Amino acid sequence: MLSLSDLPIRDDLRGKEPYGAPQLDVDVALNVNENSHPVPPSVVDAVRRAIDAELSGLNRYPDREFTRLRELLLTYVQEFARRQSADGATPVGGLTADWLWAANGSNEVLSHILQAFGGPGRTALGFVPSYSMHPLISESTGARWIAVDRGADFGLDADTAVAAVREHQPDVVFLCTPNNPTGGRLRTEVIEAVLNASTGIVIVDEAYAEFARPGYTTAVHLLPQHPRLVISRTMSKAFAFAGARLGYAIAHPALIDALRLVRLPYHLSALTQAAACAALEHTPALLENVEALITERDRMVTALDQRGFDVAETDSNFVLFGGVADPALLWERLLDAGVLIRDIGIPGHLRVNAGTPAETSAFIDAITAIVAAHP
């Protein structure tokens, strides 16, 4: 039988594995950090109407510059930053819609950034463990991936980060805050130190920003002083819109211009744009379950802690827990109980995302029973 290795595939892709979180049909899926709550009925109606209005015009290509979507994203970005300024962060001024970019999920946003600033002969550096797609996206452009270890507590301080950047002088640095899969956030000083030490592009992946505990600050307020900074966000998590595939970036318009060179023409379909615009017009309704997910996340943290696991601090909609003697076995036993979580390959650890109250209870009950049966 013909296999991939029989084909004249690029040498640097030989032996690589595709992204592979299992997609299994289970009662309780808490494995890919989605928002467990369905899209609210008022938003479903609005999205349906918006898509309906596009259908007869699908003979035409969509707005290549997704102008309206950018305006709506800008409004949300400013509002999110403003809400944080009540917690002491500096308010952001001077951003306009040409500081915004969007694509089919933030994975595609990251891919555009790496196509423009990575590529053959270049390097991308990240602090691991972090999001598993950062190296895959980097290497898919031909860039060399440099992994720098976060150390035992999964933290990252400015000295370690700056030393790594000075040593390797990467073309692209990935920072992820809150960090997947460890959950915690970076202090703003670390981001600023990396920006000041690097000569390349600094990506701050803020996919989980809306779930952060008080005191978290988005890097958006650093943008006016740092033209090599790009912030990546998504509607897949807090917005409960993963299936629509809409990610976005905020950066200096010159950096956004570079992304325009590598994107495929009309990459955001008219249907995607219509759905995302309708959703953004209902932002408060879509975000209404964020607080509920935070409550459930904290309930998971407490329950796992009480059952003797080492629980990492989390600003995300998920929890990384350690002290697991055999992660693959515990993962399997939870699956037997109808609960799918994630083995992300960190020895002694598993990751689970917050669900609805019923899903969170199902997870806690299942792990409680397993721990009781196999002390």
- What are the residues binding ligand PMP (CB under 6 A)? 33, 105-107, 131, 176, 180, 205, 207, 234, 236, 242, 247
Question: What value, to the nearest 5°, has the Cα angle with vertex 226 and ends 223 and 230?
Answer: 60
Type of residue found at 36: S
Closest CA to 128 of 61, 173, 63, 80: 173
Hunting for tokens 């693959």 — which residue is that? 328
Instruction: State in angstroms the smallest separation of the CB of 205 from ligand PMP.
Output: 5
Q: At what angle do helices 357-373 and 290-306 cross, to 10 degrees?
A: 10
> CA torsion sign, 338 to 344 to 347 to 353?
negative
Which residue has the CB atom at the shortest distance from ligand PMP?
A: 105
d(CA 242, CA 105): 8
Instruction: State in angstroms the smallest separation of the CB of 229 from ligand PMP.
Output: 16
Query: Given the complex with ligand PMP, which of 210 and 366 has the nearer CB atom?
Result: 210
Instruction: State in angstroms the smallest separation of the CB of 343 from ligand PMP.
Output: 15
Instruction: State in angstroms the smallest separation of the CB of 236 from ligand PMP.
Output: 3
Query: Given the complex with ligand PMP, which of 233 and 252 has the nearer CB atom?
Result: 233
Instruction: State in angstroms the smallest separation of the CB of 335 from ligand PMP.
Output: 20
- What phi and psi, each to the nearest 5 degrees, are found at residue 18? -70, 160
Q: Cα dihedral angle (370, 371, 374, 375), rounded to 10 degrees?
A: -170
Q: Determine the 3-state secondary structure of 309 from DSSP.
A: coil
Hunting for tokens 């807090």 — which residue is that? 238
Residues 6+ apart with CB under 8 A from 190: 156, 157, 158, 161, 175
Instruction: State in angstroms the smallest separation of the CB of 294 from ligand PMP.
Output: 17
Query: Given the complex with ligand PMP, which of 239 and 333 has the nearer CB atom?
Result: 239
Instruction: State in angstroms the smallest separation of the CB of 356 from ligand PMP.
Output: 19
Query: Given the complex with ligand PMP, which of 171 and 205 has the nearer CB atom?
Result: 205
Query: Given the complex with ligand PMP, which of 138 and 234 has the nearer CB atom?
Result: 234
Other C-beta atoms closer than 10 Å to the C-beta of 149 total 12
Query: Given the complex with ligand PMP, which of 100 and 337 has the nearer CB atom?
Result: 100
Hunting for tokens 């997609």 — which residue is that? 23
Instruction: State in angstroms the smallest separation of the CB of 234 from ligand PMP.
Output: 3
Strand ranges in 30-171 using DSSP code E only, listed in sequence order: 100-103, 123-128, 144-149
Type of residue found at 56: S
Query: Given the complex with ligand PMP, which of 246 and 303 has the nearer CB atom?
Result: 246
Query: Given the complex with ligand PMP, which of 129 and 247 has the nearer CB atom?
Result: 247
d(CA 192, CA 202): 10
Instruction: State in angstroms the smallest separation of the CB of 98 from ligand PMP.
Output: 21
Element (H, E) at 258: helix 253-262
Query: Given the complex with ligand PMP, which of 200 and 247 has the nearer CB atom?
Result: 247
The region, left, alpha or beta by phi > 0 then psi within -120 to 50, assigned to residue 291 is alpha
Closest CA to 219 of 244, 240, 188, 184: 188
Instruction: State in angstroms the smallest separation of the CB of 301 from ligand PMP.
Output: 19
Query: Given the complex with ligand PMP, which of 136 and 371 has the nearer CB atom?
Result: 136
